[in-house]
Structure 1
Amino acid sequence: MTDPVDPARSRQMALIRSKDTKPELKVRRLAHSLGYRYRLHGADLPGKPDMVFRSRKAVIFIHGCFWHGHDCKRGNRPPTANADYWRKKIARNVERDTASMEALAAAGWKSLIVWECEIKDSAALERRLREFLDAG
């Protein structure tokens, strides 16, 4: 088991970003190239969505598969070190995500989750963005 205050582990965890991640930047570039305009990190909305399209009353969350408990290969891999802590942490993330999506829906917003594993297929991602953002 790793020491919870191990300096090397702390440095490694500090490198993991919550904003401006590679997947987020790729989705933002694609949306912009398709002509969509948006705001970033809507702090006034539940869950603080990564991309906010106010005129369309739509938001997009870009989730890392591991951190948000996706059922893909990357999201399903169990943590080895401090497994109990990470399982609980991911479960809390999933609960928080669900509550945020419900609160947004109740306020009349439509929302889309783009998973890290889905970003590799640019054509499929483009179709998904267009369908989501152009839907009335």
Structure 2
Amino acid sequence: MDVLTPEQRRKNMQAIKNKRTKIEELLGKALWAIGYRYRRNNKTVFGKPDFTFRKYKIAVFCDSEFFHGKDWEVSKHRIKTNTEFWQEKIERNIRRDQLVNETLRKDGWIVIRFWGEEIKKNLDLCIDKIELAIEERKQC
């Protein structure tokens, strides 16, 4: 049984965004401030990465812990409402993320994925990881 009324649940779900999320904005502003230019949600790249550095073939994804199933085997048991729907949805997301990673890597892309909390708590480490990948590609 849901703890929210249908109207409250509807309003909650409408507020969830798939572009320009807080974690994307945080990472994007930090990258821009140090001079990196990128494309956001580039539809021409398989999987529509949150950030692409096309010149270097680097794709960066900012994944939320819930929707992308961080520690899924442990956390899937925490879902108490509409369990079947959410477990299927998140497992589909995990499979899709794996397919995107494999496809991009086969095409010569470097794929970097960050969890939301990782961006919030260790933004500098995330930036360093991206810079390292760019430097690696510059030397090729």
Normalising to structure 2: TM-score of the pair? 0.86
Summarize the alignment of residues 103-122 of structure 1 with structure 2, pairs less than 5 Å apart. Answer: 103-119=103-119, 120-122=121-123
Which range moves more in the overlay, 117-126 or 19-28? 117-126
- After superposition, give the CA deviation of every residue in 1:74-125 in whole Å (9 maximum; x if it has no partner): x836211111211111000000011111111111111100110101122322
Unmatched 5+ stretches in structure 1: none
- State the match for 1:92 in structure 2: 92
Does the 8 Å contact 1:38/1:53 carry over to 2? yes
Does the 8 Å contact 2:27/2:123 carry over to 1? no
Matched, 1:134 2:135: yes
Unmatched 5+ stretches in structure 2: none
Aligned residues: 133
Write the distance in 2 (CA, Å) between the matches of 1:27 and 1:76: 26
Does the 8 Å contact 1:31/1:129 carry over to 2? no
| CA root-mean-square deviation | 2.0
Write the distance in 2 (CA, Å) between the matches of 1:26 and 1:63: 13
Normalising to structure 1: TM-score of the pair? 0.88
- State the match for 1:79 in structure 2: 79
- Give the letter for the 2:75 counterpart: N
